[in-house]
Structures are given as C-alpha cells and as structure tokens.
Chains A and B, each alone.
Chain A
Amino acid sequence: MSILAILEQREGQWNKMSFETLAAAQQLAKELGTTASAAVVGRGIGALANELASKQLEKVYAVEHDLLKDYTPDAYAAALRQLVEAAKPTLVLFPHTYQVRDFLPKLATGLDRVAVSDVVGHRVENGKPVFVRQLFQGKVNVDIRFATDGPNFASLQAGAYRADLVAEGTAPVEAFAPQLDAGQIRTKPLELFRESARAVDLGAAEIIVSVGRGIKEAENIPIVQKLADALGAELAASRPICDAGWLPMERQVGSSGQTVAPKLYLAVGISGAIQHLVGMKGSRTVVAINKDPNAPIFEIADYAIVGDLFQVVPELTAAVVKAKG
C-alpha cells in the first residue's frame, strides 16, 4: 500500500489545488498506515520539485521531458502511465482540475481501471478507502469503493481538502524521465487566451447578489438588480445566466468564472451545482433563496428562505431599504 499525489503546474506556477491533493495524500497515508509520495510533471520543474522536498513525503518524482512542456493528453497519459508502472502506488490522487478531467480517464482506461472523479471526502473502512462523491448536481451523495487492486485513481474536488494542513518534512527528489516520442502526440495545443476584459472584479466585492436559472427570463433581472442596489452589492450570476447573455460573462461566479469570498453572498434562484459552489463557498455568510427545499445551495447556506423568489426578493429589497433607513 502506498499513495502517490500527482500535482499540477503550468509554466512553473502551481495550480493551488495541488496542495489540497498533497494534504489529502498525507492524511490518507496516515490513516492507512502507509507513506505518500508526490510527483510534478512538465519541463523546467526543478524548483517546484525542490519545494516539495521540504514536505513530509517518501519521495518526490520530477517527471520531466521536452514533450511535457505544453500539456497534451497523449504525452501526459503516457508519461504518468510509465511513472505508475515504475513506482507501483496503490492509490494515485489528483486535483480535479480541467486538465486532470482531460487525461485521467485515458490514463485509467489504459491500465484497465476506472478513476473515481470529483471526490468530496473519504473514510477508511477495513483498511480500504471509501470515497464520497456527489450525484445529480450535488443533490445526492454516494460512497464508492474500488473493486480492483491497485493502482487505483481518484481526483479531488476543489476545496474538499485543506491545503494549509500539508505537513512539513524532508523528502528526496528523484528525476523520472519518461520515454516519449513526438509521433505519439496527436493534438497540437496553441496559445492560451482570455476573452472578457474583466472590468468587474467580483473578488473585491463585500456583498454579492448572485442570480441563477430560477430567474427564468432576462426581463426579470431588474428584480435582483434592485436588491443588489439596495445592499450596495455587485450583481453576479451562475453560468447559465451568462451563457444566455442575460448578464456579461465577467459576472460569472464558479469554476469557469470568478472565485469570490465576500462578507455576504446572496444566492437567488441558484440550485448550487458543484461548479458554482467551488466559486463561492469561501463566502463568510451565505444566504440562499430557492423554491426547491432540496437544492444543494441550502447545504452551505447560513440563512435560507424557501420560497418563490418573485415574491421574496421584492419584499427583501423593501426590508433592506427600511433597515438601512
């Protein structure tokens, strides 16, 4: 039994979810009575590997190759397959990033395994890990076990483990040079780019009123705008609202939009799909207004009004105006 955490970097910068995965690997190793190692993949990653050498790990693998400079699923899956076959971990953990979603199922399939994706927690039963993930957009949880011997694979949802719990220590760094051939890489990645100008920095807002599918039509947006104005808040939205063009993309909160942590976050007509929650669950006080009492947003709400937003929001706006007098 041993655990390997595969960490993510781009151009020498950590993806911050990497350290959540590192903390999870250390925690699971402790609970399972084994050790954790970590790997970083890319080109020119020496400094990152050295940073890991000061963590409580059995070993740090620096998986380096010219063909790993820019991410491609073919090169990453091939390199990691070689690493897994050489290091023989029982359990391999990943941050559930967009990049991991792109190559992990390929890696696992190549080794005749199924990865448990988007894990939100775990427990250990009879010396084996049981992973918790969500079904139906977060409405239901499920416990999942591996039916196969290692290597087994799991990816961890943003925020499911605490990066600040990473234990310090010392670990040797081992270079791992995978055998890769340019001919096996079928996709050609081009430049990264951003589209919206980001004129709105939701990250700096103290109060955010955020609107979701429950608003039904673009014509109804002023109902929540009035509440935002009364509170002196920024107006934000979940993805479907921005996709529909009812609010600009730069006001989107969630994994593909902005991550926010205001003092007060009011979610109006937002069910609380995982992709939205990862963008706002650091908010200090969360208020949810939704007509579905089982909406997952209520699980992280401090205050909740179960009701029709078209009745509740105008009353709330009036009450805020009165309270601020």
Chain B
Amino acid sequence: MKIVVAIKQVPARDSQLRVASSGKWIEDADLSYEINEPDAYALEAGLQLKEKHGGEVIALCAGPARAATTIREALAKGADRAIHIEEEDLGSYDPLAASRLLAAALKPESPDLVLTGLQSDDLGYGQTGVILAELLGLPHATIIMHVDAEGGAIKVKRELESGWFQNVEMPLPALLTIQSGISKLRYATLMGIKKAKTKEIKRLTAGELGVSAANARITLDRVYAPERTKQTQIFDGPAKEAAAQLVEKLKFEARVI
C-alpha cells in the first residue's frame, strides 16, 4: 500500500501568541514549531497500516525552510521518503490554493491512500483534506478513528457528535482525515534518527508545481485578541490567598457552594 501523509508544521501548542503590529498575523519571530498534532496521528495511522500491509509511507509537507525539522522527524519515525513544497509565505494561500499545492505534488505519486489530520492547530479551517480529495477525484471520509484495509477497499470508523460513531466502506484510492488521540504516538528511535539523514527529501516549489496564491477566494482581514464576553474576576495572588478569595466569591456572590 502506497500511503501519502500530508503534515503541517505549526507553532508549538503552549506558545504565547502576540498579534503582529501589521494586524495580519501573529508575531512569529521567536516561536518554536512542531508537527500539527492531528497530523502526527495521521502519520502514526499511516505507519501502522504500512507495518500491517507493507508498502511505503511518504510524508508531504508544504511550508518554509524551517518545516524541514518536522519532515526529518516524520522520516525518523518511519516515513520512507518525503516531499517538501518549499513556500516561505504559505499564509498567503487560502485553503483551496494550499490544497492545490499539495494536490499537484501528490498526483504523480498515485497513492492508494492519502491521510492527513482533521484540522490544523493554527488556521483550523478543517478543510484541506476534503478539498484535496475533491481536487484528486478521490472518495473521502473525515474525523476517522480507525482504519481497516482489505483487498482494494477500506472500512473506517468515523466519529460523529455526542459519542456516536459510524462505519463507512469505500474503495481505494481514497483520502481520510484522522482524529487526534486515536492511538499512542511512537517516538523516533536513535536508529530511526540516524536513518532519516539518508532518506530522500524531494524539494519542490510552487512555481514548479504551477500553483500560486493569487486570486484568493477569501482574505484574512485583521487578526486580533478576542474580546472577553464575560467580566472575569481574576485572582492572581499566592495560591492560598487566591483559593480563599475564590471560595469566598463562590459562596457569597455566585452562591454555588
């Protein structure tokens, strides 16, 4: 089974974010980056399928030069090779244009299965996978918890709201977006890290793929800190003092204890 996993590099989850003075994005000079968490689970699902059915896992990533660290990690965990679409200004691509980048790089590979995380932790549109399926003419399913492959078809467990699930069958090739937390993520082994250095990373540019960010269908107008909808009373003194103040309020103001 030939599996392509689309991964994205995003600011680390615990980053302290400040809006940039341009008001168009966040200050990104001092941020540290990591793999988008749902994409890490998509990679894990791909590696497990390969272990079971044989084949190849290719990591596909669009992003600036710094994304190379995330790609190396994917290779160290077991991806066989990688494709890096080097694009310094991925932020100027709307979800359709970004998906076109991925689709153009993916098409010549003719994979049996394309996996990606259900959404990104930065932009969070949750659309790239489904758009990619449409551009590639593949059947798809989203928010997948489990994948069983047999012959030329797969059966997947799809998450619905409020604790409901549904199994869905479809022929390969297909595209799935993977839910976070569906299995335990593996760590890269020392041997894996060593091996990763010799694995192939194919570098492509948007120009080579014939895709540009022009004619965006939607535009990010202004980025800003959310306004508080509630008047929040904050206790930021020493722990004991703050705890006493809170209990006082809960007892006599909110009257809930």
Q: Scan A300-316; emit 1 where CB is below 8 A from any B CB, else 0.
A: 11111111100110011
A296, CB-defined interface residue at 8 Å = yes
Beta-carbon contact of B228 and A299 below 8 Å: yes
In the assembled complex, which residues on chain A have CB atoms less than 8 Å from the CB atom of B140? 73, 102, 106, 187
Interface residues in B, total, Cβ within 8 A:
81
Beta-carbon contact of A102 and B139 below 8 Å: no
Beta-carbon contact of A136 and B218 below 8 Å: no
Beta-carbon contact of B127 and A105 below 8 Å: yes
Beta-carbon contact of B217 and A113 below 8 Å: yes
Beta-carbon contact of B166 and A296 below 8 Å: no
Measured CA separation A81–B235 after assembly (Å) = 52
Beta-carbon contact of A139 and B17 below 8 Å: yes
Q: Which of A45-53, A82-90, A317-325 contacts B (4 or more CB under 8 A)?
A: A317-325
In the assembled complex, which residues on chain B have CB atoms less than 8 Å from the CB atom of A113? 96, 217
Q: Scan A178-199; emit 1 where CB is below 8 A from any B CB, else 0.
A: 0000000011111111111010
**Contact A196/B163 with A140-B224, A239-B181 known, Cβ cut-off 8 Å:** yes
Beta-carbon contact of A117 and B161 below 8 Å: no
**Contact A194/B239 with A105-B134, A284-B256 known, Cβ cut-off 8 Å:** no
Beta-carbon contact of B166 and A193 below 8 Å: yes
B141, CB-defined interface residue at 8 Å = yes
Beta-carbon contact of B181 and A147 below 8 Å: no
Q: Which of A29-37, A57-65, A258-266 contacts B (4 or more CB under 8 A)?
A: A258-266
A114, CB-defined interface residue at 8 Å = yes
A94, CB-defined interface residue at 8 Å = no
A9, CB-defined interface residue at 8 Å = no
A137, CB-defined interface residue at 8 Å = yes
In the assembled complex, which residues on chain A have CB atoms less than 8 Å from the CB atom of B218? 114, 116, 144-147
A285, CB-defined interface residue at 8 Å = yes
Beta-carbon contact of B222 and A106 below 8 Å: no
Q: Scan A222-259; emit 1 where CB is below 8 A from any B CB, else 0.
A: 00000000010000000110011000011000011111
> Smallest CB-CB separation from B17: which chain A residue?
A139
Beta-carbon contact of A192 and B164 below 8 Å: yes
Out of A115, A118, A287, which one reaches B250, CB within 8 Å?
A: A287
Beta-carbon contact of B166 and A135 below 8 Å: no
> Smallest CB-CB separation from B99: which chain A residue?
A109
**Contact A316/B246 with A102-B142, A194-B164 known, Cβ cut-off 8 Å:** yes
In the assembled complex, which residues on chain A have CB atoms less than 8 Å from the CB atom of B239? 305, 307-308, 311-312, 315
Q: Which of B45-53, B168-176, B194-202 contacts A (4 or more CB under 8 A)?
A: B168-176
* CB under 8 Å from chain B, chain A span 124-150: 130, 133-148
**Contact A141/B250 with A302-B230, A304-B235 known, Cβ cut-off 8 Å:** no
In the assembled complex, which residues on chain B have CB atoms less than 8 Å from the CB atom of A294? 16-17
Beta-carbon contact of A140 and B164 below 8 Å: no
Out of A196, A263, A303, which one reaches B246, CB within 8 Å?
A: A303
Beta-carbon contact of B222 and A146 below 8 Å: no
* CB under 8 Å from chain A, chain B span 194-241: 215-226, 228-236, 239-240
**Contact A292/B122 with A300-B230, A301-B230 known, Cβ cut-off 8 Å:** no
**Contact A319/B246 with A98-B160, A134-B226 known, Cβ cut-off 8 Å:** yes
> Smallest CB-CB separation from B180: which chain A residue?
A243
Beta-carbon contact of A193 and B164 below 8 Å: yes
Q: How far is the CB of B12 from chain A (nearest CB, A)?
A: 11
Q: How far is the CB of B109 from chain A (nearest CB, A)?
A: 20
* CB under 8 Å from chain A, chain B span 94-129: 94-96, 99, 121-127
Chain A residues within CB distance 8 Å of chain B: 73-74, 97-99, 101-106, 108-110, 112-118, 130, 133-148, 186-196, 198, 207, 231, 239-240, 243-244, 249-250, 255-259, 263-264, 274, 284-287, 292, 294, 296, 298-308, 311-312, 315-316, 318-320, 322-324
Excluding A143-B220, A198-B163, A304-B234, 4 further A-B contacts by CB distance (< 8 Å) are A243-B182, A299-B230, A306-B236, A312-B239
Q: Provide 17 A-B residue pairs closer than 8 Å at the C-beta atoms, listed in order of the A residue.
A: A73-B140, A98-B142, A112-B217, A118-B124, A140-B224, A186-B171, A190-B166, A194-B164, A244-B181, A258-B162, A258-B163, A274-B124, A287-B246, A292-B14, A301-B232, A305-B246, A319-B247
Chain B residues within CB distance 8 Å of chain A: 11, 13-17, 19, 26, 94-96, 99, 121-127, 130-131, 133-135, 139-143, 155, 159-171, 180-182, 215-226, 228-236, 239-240, 242-244, 246-251, 254, 256-257
